[in-house]
Amino acid sequence: MVREWRVNPNFASVNFQEAGASALALSLLNRGVGVEAGLSNPEAPDIFIKSGIASRILRLLIEPQEQNLEAAMGTVRNIKDALARARLDLPIVLHGTEKKCLGTTR
């Protein structure tokens, strides 16, 4: 579907816990569309890291799904730890909904 677009957006969010995320992100990047990599669970950073596109993305969007703030922050820590182990230092937007709002950080 991306190949059929006539007008590209400036950027798109790609959720790396979803099937086909790496291929979609690469397709977007190859069309000149910026990619914001969405990470919402402890498995997502591993998928993102293995994709090999870290140097090409705009930023990371960490968006834990837990509504309990303590649990959500635990997910954030797990994701950030995985990124640190991979020595990735990328801009991060922390995204919360409903009962949680987490702010922004680098």
Work out the average pLDDT over 10-38: 96
Per-residue confidence (pLDDT) for residue 69, from 0 to 100: 83
Cα(first)–Cα(last) distance of the chain, in Å? 33
Per-residue confidence (pLDDT) for residue 104, from 0 to 100: 46
The edge-to-edge listing of strands for the beta sheet with 92-94 is 11-15, 34-39, 59-62, 92-94, 104-105
- Domains of the chain plus CATH, in order, are 8-105 (3.20.20.80)
Each residue's pLDDT tens digit, 57-103: 999 999 998 888 888 889 999 999 999 999 999 999 988 776 655 54
